[in-house]
Amino acid sequence: MTKTVAVIGAGIVGVSTAIWLQRDGHEVVLIDKAGPGEGASHGNGGVLASCSVVPVPGPGLWTKAPKMLMDPNQPLFMKWGYLPRLLPWLRRYMAQANAEAARKRAQAATPIIGDSLNDHQALATGTGAEKWIVPADYVFVYNDRAAYEGDAFGFSLRREAGFEWEELEGEAFKAYDPAFGPQLSFAARFPGHGRIADPGRYVKDLAAHAEAQGARILKAEVTDVVRENGRVTGVRAGGRNHRLRRRRADRRCLVQAAGREAGHRRPARERTRLSPRALRRLGHATLAGDDRERQVRRDADGGPAAARGHRRAGRARRAALACALRAAGAQHPRGDSRHHLGEESRMDGPPPLGRRFPAPHRRGPGREGRLPGFRPRSCRFDGRPQDRAHPFAADRGARAQHRSCAIRPFAFSMRHEQRKTFAYKHSGRQKMTTKQILMAGAALATMAGAAQAETWDMPMAYAATNFHSEVGAEFATCVTEGTGGELEIVTHPSGSLFGGAEIKRAVMTGQANIGERLLSAHQNENPLYGVDSIPFLVSSFDQHEKLWGIAEPYVSDALAEDNLHYLYSVPWPPQGLYMNKPISSVADLEGVKFRSYSTATARMAELTGMLPVQVEAAELSQALATGVAESFISSGATGYDRKVWEHLSNFYEVDAWLPRNAVFVNADAWDGLSDEAKSVMEDCATTAAETGLERSKEYTQFTLDGLKENGMTVERAGDELMSELKEIGETMTSEWLETAGEAGTAIVEEYRGE
């Protein structure tokens, strides 16, 4: 029987629901307040993590979690003041941390996500959206076999779920993907997975297909369900009642696919402004049939969506319920005596768990036509950081992302190096002192806890041996000692806590209280941050210090607008040009892949005919090793730290500019400090700025000598190249002045003595 179905929410769930309903002959109205593919489905990682069926709570969590909480290098932290509120949830969560519950949930998850590549292909084939699906492996990477074996329980569940994998060790792993560092020597490779290259566009293309097939797409917020004579006849959206057209013998059906906004009643009301009455009708996965509504919600154990608590249902109601279950892509609870769904009302239903539902590697004939649609599953604990600018983004589309290589940051067997490599970002963590541990114990008993001494994590982007990082570490010690331990600062170099590009935002938002960042990398946010990177405006430390003396108050004000309190900054040595061949003029730069780290470097690449590639310092060596970048502009220090002589041959001293790394504190955190702590910090900052400047000067010659000693040709750029670069510098200075407004002009004029 044909139904007219209103699907609320046009994310991946709603859109795939609409398409499967259409294929089953139903009419669909797809309603979304923001339009298709604009919610969580817009910018997720796109990983089709079929084998990620193992839940985080499992046996051993009871012993492992406390250890992780006490180790600042582990990716688990707790805001201890939040513990009392968290406790009721935590108790239920930890009750699941046993083998039986984990197995049950893995078994429940397998039929839902265990074949997601196939499911997506079935959904998208013939829609025009199939081009976004990229079949790929899914890889768990470990330091060594022992670490992998430490995860044996999880793999046993995967085996029970029907997955098979290949173990890659040592050279075999290196040959499989040379991009991984030497500390990672073992991998479990799961074939038959994949990724969605652009999740947002994928959903939009699917929606366009649904529309082309006759679906009505409305851009409006649904605020209520319209009932007439006790029957659902439509929805209220965008301030209007939309009646669902009903033909003879048609049924109306409502599917709610409004994503996480509908996950809980109270937040849903707040966020979607659905009335309490509407919310009673629309729960997590609620639908309303044309005779009465029926709430369907996820299995209490976190398993597949399952209908609960409904008593005897009439045939029409069952049909509506089946519609919703199918529409939401959830498993038909066939075989579960709790759910009395009439056979006649089922669509071409999904098979029971683990039987007719082939795992990716067990695909076979007859699979077609029994596809249950797609029910996405949050992979937030899985996946390489693909949803942020990755150094290999340009190239890794065919190198790393194609393999959807996944590390589970919450896997307790995961070692420090793994976290470093994949830079899992955990934030706001407070390292516990003995006192805090005792207090936390008390909190667990009394549901009240508090922390006194504070620990601030300080993310830094450069190698621990770099002079900026060393000065930062000395600053941290100075503060810790100066405050008598009242405030401990722990530095995290090499982008191990937050990648360079993320540090400023992390501190602005309070995810970290303090951090160090190359200021000019944020020139796109405020041109004043790029005052130290105007090409050839200054070319020596003395000139630079003069410029900075004028610019510092302006930059400090700009940071204050970003909720940051500026502490100190240190210049890098003058910037030179690294190449993989000798050059004598700008013409030689044509087509060279150039690592950019700021708007200025990207613009410079553009003006010289090079191809800019965004790469953070921490990933520079890999980018050079893999040919993602062939050239870059930086100080001798960066090249020396990153041993670029392994990939490049020439360094040209052009002294283009001297960019600065700034250390700043979250303004709220700063305001919360005692006057004594502030004063200690300011004093330590002054010392750090002076020490840093001296180190930078010393490091200049040392690193240039180091480059030479390691076989690079280090020389001053020839006249032709210099004069061409300076011309480009003039262009860039004018461009910067145009964007930097009065403040920029005032700085440059004062510097030039105009």
Ligand X SMILES: Cc1cc2nc3c(=O)[nH]c(=O)nc-3n(C[C@H](O)[C@H](O)[C@H](O)COP(=O)(O)OP(=O)(O)OC[C@H]3O[C@@H](n4cnc5c(N)ncnc54)[C@H](O)[C@@H]3O)c2cc1C
Closer Cβ to ligand X, 400 or 577, answer by number:
400
Figure out which of the listed residues 225, 226, 379, 519 binds ligand X, where binding follows CB under 6 A: 379
The answer to the question of residue 744 lying near ligand X (CB under 6 A) is no
| Angstrom distance (rounded) from CA 41 to CA 705 | 51
The answer to the question of residue 489 lying near ligand X (CB under 6 A) is no
Instruction: Enumerate long-range contacts of 539-546, CB under 8 Å, 24 or more apart.
Output: 539/574, 539/655, 539/656, 539/657, 540/574, 540/655, 541/571, 541/574, 541/658, 541/693, 541/696, 541/697, 544/571, 544/657, 544/658, 545/571, 545/693, 546/751
Residue nearest to ligand X (CB): 11
How many residues make contact with ligand X (CB under 6 A)? 34
Contact at 8 Å (CB) between 248 and 4? no
End-to-end CA distance of the chain: give it in Å, rounded: 82
CA dist 249 → 1, 18, 19, 317, 379 (Å): 7, 20, 22, 14, 41
- Shortest Å, Cβ 15 to ligand X: 7
Residues 6+ apart with CB under 8 A from 698: none
| Angstrom distance (rounded) from CA 166 to CA 148 | 13
Stretch 195-234: interaction string toward ligand X, x if CB under 6 A: --------------------------xx------------
Q: Which stretch binds ligand X (CB under 6 A): 102-110, 254-262, 526-534, 734-742?
A: 254-262
Compute φ and ψ for 570, nearest 5 degrees: -135, 135
Q: Which stretch binds ligand X (CB under 6 A): 44-52, 243-251, 572-580, 601-609?
A: 44-52
DSSP one-letter code for 185: -
The answer to the question of residue 376 lying near ligand X (CB under 6 A) is yes
User: Which helix or strand (DSSP H or E) is residue 516 part of?
Assistant: strand 514-518
Stretch 573-612: interaction string toward ligand X, x if CB under 6 A: ----------------------------------------
Closer Cβ to ligand X, 221 or 516, answer by number:
221
Stretch 299-338: interaction string toward ligand X, x if CB under 6 A: ----------------------------------------
- Shortest Å, Cβ 364 to ligand X: 24
Figure out which of the listed residues 3, 20, 28, 44 binds ligand X, where binding follows CB under 6 A: 44
The answer to the question of residue 117 lying near ligand X (CB under 6 A) is no
The answer to the question of residue 29 lying near ligand X (CB under 6 A) is no
The answer to the question of residue 377 lying near ligand X (CB under 6 A) is yes
- Shortest Å, Cβ 219 to ligand X: 9
Closer Cβ to ligand X, 198 or 261, answer by number:
261
The answer to the question of residue 31 lying near ligand X (CB under 6 A) is yes
SS3 at position 176: helix
| Angstrom distance (rounded) from CA 717 to CA 579 | 12
The answer to the question of residue 257 lying near ligand X (CB under 6 A) is yes
By C-alpha distance, which of 185, 190, 179, 186 is closest to 139? 190
The answer to the question of residue 164 lying near ligand X (CB under 6 A) is no
Closer Cβ to ligand X, 34 or 389, answer by number:
34
The answer to the question of residue 272 lying near ligand X (CB under 6 A) is yes
By C-alpha distance, which of 652, 543, 739 is closest to 532? 543
Q: What angle do CA 621, 400, 178 make, to 5 degrees?
A: 55
The answer to the question of residue 241 lying near ligand X (CB under 6 A) is no
| Angstrom distance (rounded) from CA 260 to CA 369 | 30
Q: Which stretch binds ligand X (CB under 6 A): 73-81, 373-381, 478-486, 572-580?
A: 373-381
Residues 6+ apart with CB under 8 A from 232: 225, 226, 244, 252, 254, 281, 288, 289, 290, 293
The answer to the question of residue 38 lying near ligand X (CB under 6 A) is yes
The answer to the question of residue 283 lying near ligand X (CB under 6 A) is no
Compute φ and ψ for 79, nearest 5 degrees: -85, 105
Closer Cβ to ligand X, 115 or 532, answer by number:
115
By C-alpha distance, which of 44, 740, 670 is closest to 388? 44
Site residues for ligand X per CB under 6 A: 8-14, 31-34, 38-41, 44-47, 49, 221-222, 257-259, 261, 272, 376-380, 383, 387
